Structures are given as structure tokens and as C-alpha cells.
């Protein structure tokens, strides 16, 4: 009898904490802005969400995308990576530069991207993205 009471008490203690735990929320995917060949665009981003900017690139040409953001910025730069256009890329083939940002504070930001080789001369292309972070 004592063993059954002890087992029941342990079960009640173990189950007591399960009602207070909130279910885990799945993280929302990043909002994507894709290169459409235009000179720019605009996007509204909820606070805490991520923004992924995809710009066509071919690093084998020596050109690369660079960006400027304000300081302080409502966006936090998280990462940058190159994604080849094909699953088995050929030497010299292009792809996309992917820039990942997180909305860290409410406000507006003008991201200015330049596709250039080195610092000298004019960029081959520019892309301006107006980002408004809303609470």
C-alpha cells in the first residue's frame, strides 16, 4: 500500500509542472527580397523577423556586392553567403549573394548595395532597399 501511494505521489509531482509549460513556437521564415534587375525596392519588416536579400552575383568575375547601413541601424547584420545557381556549379558560373538581417529595433533604414570590383571607379550596379521595421 505504501508503495502504491509513493508511486502516485511521484506521478502527481511529475505531472504538476507540465501544465505551466507553453508550447514552443516555430520560428517564422525570413522575409525574402529577390533581385529582379531593378534599382531597388522597399519592404516592411515586423520587429524580431529576419530579412534575406538575394542579389545576383558572379564572384569569379572579381565583382562582389557590398552594402552600407546607417549607424545606429534598426537592422542587425547576421550573415552573408554565396549560393551557386546550380547544384553542380561549373567554374565561372554565377549565383546569388544572400544577405541576412534581423529587425532589432523599430525605425527605417536605407540599405545601399553596390556591385563592384575593388574600391575604385563606379559600381557596375547598385540596389537600394528601404526597410521599415514596425513593432
Return the domain boundaries, the chain.
27-134
The pLDDT value given to residue 121: 82
pLDDT band of residue 28 (cuts 50, 70, 90) is: confident
Q: What are phi and psi of 134, to 5 degrees?
A: -110, 145
In this predicted structure, the answer to whether residue 119 has a pLDDT above a threshold of 80 is yes
Q: Return the beta strands (E) in the chain as ranges.
A: 31-34, 40-46, 50-57, 64-68, 75-84, 95-103, 107-116, 125-134
Mind listing the pLDDT tens digit for each residue in 52-100? Answer: 999 999 999 999 999 988 778 899 999 999 999 877 677 888 999 999 9
Q: Are strands 107-116 and 64-68 parallel, antiparallel or unpaired?
A: antiparallel
Which has the closest alpha carbon to 134: 68, 26, 42? 42
The pLDDT value given to residue 38: 86
Estimate to the nearest angstrom the gap between the alpha carbon of 69 and the chain centroid. Answer: 15
0.95 cut: is pTM over it? Answer: no
What CATH number has the domain spanning 27-134? 2.60.40.2020
Amino acid at each position: 500500500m505504501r508503495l502504491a501511494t509513493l508511486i502516485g505521489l511521484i506521478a502527481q509531482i511529475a505531472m504538476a509542472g507540465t501544465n505551466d509549460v507553453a508550447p514552443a513556437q516555430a520560428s517564422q521564415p525570413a522575409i525574402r527580397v529577390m533581385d529582379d534587375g531593378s534599382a531597388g525596392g522597399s519592404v516592411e519588416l515586423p520587429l524580431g523577423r529576419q530579412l534575406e536579400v538575394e542579389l545576383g552575383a558572379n564572384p569569379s568575375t572579381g565583382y562582389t556586392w557590398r552594402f552600407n547601413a546607417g549607424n545606429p541601424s534598426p537592422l542587425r547584420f547576421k550573415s552573408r553567403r554565396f549560393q551557386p545557381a546550380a547544384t553542380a556549379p561549373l567554374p565561372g558560373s554565377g549565383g546569388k549573394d544572400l544577405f541576412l538581417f534581423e529587425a532589432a529595433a523599430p525605425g527605417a533604414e536605407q540599405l545601399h548595395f553596390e556591385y563592384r570590383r575593388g574600391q575604385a571607379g563606379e559600381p557596375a550596379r547598385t540596389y537600394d532597399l528601404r526597410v521599415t521595421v514596425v513593432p
